[in-house]
Amino acid sequence: MSNKSLFYYSILFVIELQLIWTQTTIPKSLRECYKNNVTLDPPIPLNLRILVDIIQKMEKYSYSTIDMRVMSSSILHRFRFDGIEYHKNIQTTENILPFSGTGIQRIKHKLIEELIPGKAEILPVHILSQEERCILHQAISSSILLFDNENKYKLYGQIPQTEKLKGRMLTDTWNYPRQQGVILTPCGTIAPGIIIGAIAASLQHQNIAVNQLVTNLETSSDTAHYDSNKILFNNDFHLLKMNSTNIYNLKYDKEEVEFILPRNQIIHKPSMWYNALKSSSMKIDNIWLTTIAGKIYYCELAEMVVYQGPLGNNMTFGATGFWQNIMRPTIYYLTNSYKNFDVTRAELIGGIDGMIISSYLQSWIQDFYSLRLSQILEMYYSYEGVVFNTNVKACDRIQTFQYAVPKTILNEQTYAIAQTLAYRKSIAYISPETLQQMVDFATEKFYTYAENHLFPELSCHQINQPQIEAIIIFDGTWTIQYMIDFLAILIQDLDISMYGSKMGIINSTSGEWLLNVTNSPSIAFQTLNNFTNVMWSTQFNYMQVLKTVFSYLNNTWEYNHKHHIIGNLGQVVILLVPLAHISNNEKESIMTLLHQLKYNHPDVHFVYYVSRYNENLFEPFILSNEDYMIKNSNIDAIVQYVLKIPRALRPATTLDLNNSKIPQIEDYISPSKSITYRIHSHWKQNMKKILIKIHTFDYGTMKVCMWIEFKSNNRKNLQCIELAGYKEIILTDHFKCTSISACPNLYLHIQNVTSLYKCAEIDCKTPDQIRM
């Protein structure tokens, strides 16, 4: 070959290689997640609670400007990037990362990006921490990560399908592939990127002719070539910043090499696929595409047809896996007798869930236009189900599977998408007849697998969760890892969330806050992740703890009074002190401060989680009915007790009522729930009567009852009334407390709620809540 020809092919190599690089480079907005292993070693659990919390933060900030259509599509374009691989031969620098989107998942993802428009820049991502941004990216971006002894982070590209595990038992998790893009829900592990994609596609529904899609590809390809020359000079990651030795030492997978093979070796395959596509009469539905192609159900089948079909008729899918830690799930390991992971169980489940939701979504939107993405996710994976169709829920997905995923349409869409995937990247040309046979086989095999293995029996019973404000103190007895797991369970069971409970953590030695009181589980878990970096409690200093608690309670109620708020979530101090010790010299001063705290805040509860070793030590601190001691090691006992804690009301005085702003509290209740409020007897002292005014806003109906109670379950003066429409009623307590007679607590109970589905403001957890 002449020097001129060699020069020509060298230039062609660099230009083609640059085109590949620019199409697969990690976006600038996501590079922060691939520095210091933020994504590969996530500090926040990959579960539904965290995902919903992050989305809710963006929804709350942009409630008046971004609807569910824009939110879902923008999340996909800002945070989703499938098929990320690690290239160990690339030297990492400030501007060069050894990661790129060259995995097979990227092909599907590019299809989805083209068929679901979105604006990444519109999201209020600045309100999220780096950890939250990166965990959202990891939760919805599909990749398979492999480990080897030579390099810790080796990502799955396309493993030779003939290479199988030969019955060998794997005992080391380093030998298991890791799946990115999955989260743990109460109903199993799912791929949420598929579900969000299905929602976005449903709200921007399109049917695209396959031959038209080819025409669009031709146009975009021309533009890409023009852009690639421009990028050669402007892209921070362009290959010309590497020397020639680095360029030729790079290792590329099969897909990349295909772009730079001599033309006479590759032209026959693309042209055969091209001709088949140009004559195709099929159309691609972007909802089906998103479901398992981009991680939406049917497309994953199409991928299996394209990538596994040419290698034989022994197609496999549904690789299962396990989490490294159920309390704090951050790594999901795959197990499969075959070394192919084109279609995992989590992706199949996510695809089915996406199809089920998208099947009903348009009718829900017509009935309730302000529905939010977080509400869809939270309702569908709850035991109550979606409020508009309570039978639509993940724990009972088998009942809606066949309705949402009809076999005939599945077959058609799998074929159409398989054609498109094959044109873009296939290991062999497949005739239309043969491709249809493979699609038929894959569809039948999927239905058989789904009906027999994909839907385990799940419990759909309601789980009651408290709504309280908890302050946690622990004595440092347990190891850091055990303590973190224990607190992780409490975060889950106490329902720490925007519309649930709040939690704060105090260092039992110094009395300093480890976690300021928050309703964000992601913030709570970020704090837990830093426990190894803070001074661990070495002894229990109850005096310092009480001072901190006392100060917090004073500040909270002073704020409430200043802002004319007469109520609060029930407050409880939970002391995890199984081996704590208090000297006799400390007891007297502690008791004095504890009495003072309880005089100022008598409605605050104290829970002592002790052991046989020290239960007698804490007995003297049980001063009222608001104090409780747990003597066993059952964590459920904590939740069972706090479930009974009512919300606190503190009546305004006559002086407060003369103010121009009426002291009040605004609240919301769901039809399946009830709420109890309590005015502690302390606040009734020397009062002639107490008037409680309740106002409703025509969101539905409810029953309101009020009574007084001297002892538990001894109700007196019970009065109830039904409320509906725009109505205001007044309930009056005439019991006069004096200093010489016993004084009862006053209770207000809301129950028997029915909804008109009008709850549209951001303070509504679900559309069926009632505002009062």
Task: Give me the CATH number covering residue 702.
Answer: 2.60.120
Distance CA 600, CA 602 (A): 6
Q: Strands 715-733 and 690-709: what pairing?
A: antiparallel
Number of H helices, E strands in the chain: 25, 25
The encoded tokens of residue 640 equal: 């069972």
* pLDDT of 392 strictly over 90: yes
In a domain, residue 589? The reply is yes
59-73, 142-156, 233-247: which range is least confident on average? Answer: 233-247
Give me the pLDDT at residue 244, please. Answer: 31
What CATH number does residue 614 fall under?
3.40.50.410
Assess if residue 462 is contained within a domain: no
In-domain check, residue 263: no
Structure tokens at 420: 């498109």
Mapped to the 3 state alphabet, what secondary structure does 336-392 carry?
CCECCCCCEHHHHHHHHHHHHHHHHHHHHHHHCCCCCHHHHHHHHCCCCCECCECCC
The domain boundary, picked from 428, 454, 480, lies at 454
**Structure confidence at residue 63 as a pLDDT band (50, 70, 90):** very high
Among 402, 425, 454, where does a domain finish? 454
Q: Both tokens of residue 25?
A: 């480079």
Answer whether residue 257 shows pLDDT above 60. no
Strand 570-576, strand 605-609: pairing? parallel
The arithmetic mean of pLDDT across residues 1-5, rounded, is 49
Residues in contact with 53: Cβ distance below 8 Å, sequence separation at least 6, in sequence order? 497, 498, 520, 521, 522
Q: Looking at the predicted structure, is the pLDDT value of residue 309 above 60?
A: no
What per-residue confidence (pLDDT) applies to 112? 83
E strands present in 259-347: 283-285, 320-323, 332-335
Tell me the mean pLDDT in the region 273-285.
71
What's the pLDDT at 415? 83
Give the range of the structural domain holding residue 703, as residue numbers without chain letter: 666-771
Kindly indicate the confidence band of residue 311, based on its pLDDT and cuts at 50, 70 and 90.
Answer: very low
DSSP string of 502-522, one letter each residue: EEEEEETTT--EEEEEES-HH
* Same-domain status, 432 and 568: no
Domain boundary (619, 649, 679) is at 649
Whether residues 416 and 346 fall in one domain: yes
Q: Percentage of residues in the chain with pLDDT exceeding 70? A: 78
Region 206-212: what's the mean pLDDT?
78
Angle of helix 542-562 versus helix 584-600 axis, rounded to 10 = 10
> What is the spatial distance between Cα 240 and Cα 232, in angstroms, rounded to a whole number?
7
State whether 670 and 627 are in the same domain: no
The helix, strand and coil proportions of the chain, stated in percent and rounded to the nearest 5, come to 45, 20, 35
Please provide the average confidence, as pLDDT, over all residues in the chain. Answer: 81
Q: Which is more confidently placed, 315 or 330?
A: 330
User: Using 50, 70 and 90 to split pLDDT, how confident is the model at 277?
Assistant: low
23-37, 212-226, 427-441, 569-583: segment of lowest average pLDDT = 212-226
DSSP string, 526-561: HHHHTGGGSPPP-S--HHHHHHHHHHHHHHHHHHHH
**55 and 97 within one domain:** yes
- Same domain as 181, residue 42: yes
Are 336 and 485 within one domain?
no
Task: Assess whether 683 and 555 both reside in one domain.
Answer: no
Task: Take residue 138 and report the two structure tokens written for it.
Answer: 């990891």
Q: Identify whether the C-beta of residue 344 lies closer than 8 Å to the C-beta of residue 321.
A: yes
* Exposure string over 151-184, b if 16+ CB within 10 A, otherwise e: eebbbbbbbebeeeeeeeeeeeeeebbbbbbbbb
* Res. 121: pLDDT tops 50: yes
Q: How confident is the model at residue 421 (pLDDT cuts 50, 70, 90)?
A: confident
Inform me whether the pLDDT recorded for 228 exceeds 50: no
Q: How far is CA 760 from CA 47, 58, 124, 563, 769, in A?
A: 26, 16, 21, 25, 9
State whether residue 448 is helix, strand or coil.
helix
Q: Is residue 227 part of a domain?
A: no
Question: Do 748 and 645 have their domain in common?
Answer: no
Q: Positive or negative, the Cα torsion across 530, 532, 534, 539?
A: positive
Quick one: 596 and 678 in the same domain? no
Residue 766 has pLDDT above 80, yes or no: yes
Q: Each residue of 709-759: pLDDT tens digit?
A: 987 778 899 999 999 999 999 999 999 888 777 899 999 999 999 999 999
Q: Is residue 120 part of a domain?
A: yes
Domain tally, the chain? 3
Per-range mean pLDDT, top range of 197-206, 568-577, 687-696:
568-577
Task: Report pLDDT for 428.
Answer: 60
> Are 65 and 203 in the same domain?
yes
CA distance 751 to 753: 6
Residues 696 and 733 placed together within one structural domain of the fold: yes
The predicted model gives 399-415 an average pLDDT of 87
pLDDT in tens, 541-580: 999 999 999 999 999 999 999 999 999 999 999 999 999 9
- The pLDDT of residue 107: 76
Q: Give residue 274's pLDDT.
A: 63
Q: Which residue do the tokens 């720490």 mark?
A: 496
- pLDDT beyond 90 at 151: no
| β-strands 690-709, 675-679 pairing | unpaired
Structure tokens at 678: 């309590």
Token pair listed for 99: 């990661």
pLDDT above 70 (res 450): yes
- The verdict on residue 230 lying in a domain is no
Q: Let me know whether 184 and 332 are in one domain.
A: yes
**pLDDT band of 229, cuts 50, 70, 90:** very low
pTM of structure:
0.85
pLDDT digit string, tens, across residues 356-372:
999 999 999 998 999 99
Confidence of residue 293 (pLDDT cuts 50, 70, 90): very low
Asked if residue 500 belongs to a domain, the reply is yes
Bridge partner residues of 86 (DSSP): 99
Q: Is residue 272 part of a domain?
A: no
Q: How far apart are the first and last CA of the chain?
A: 84
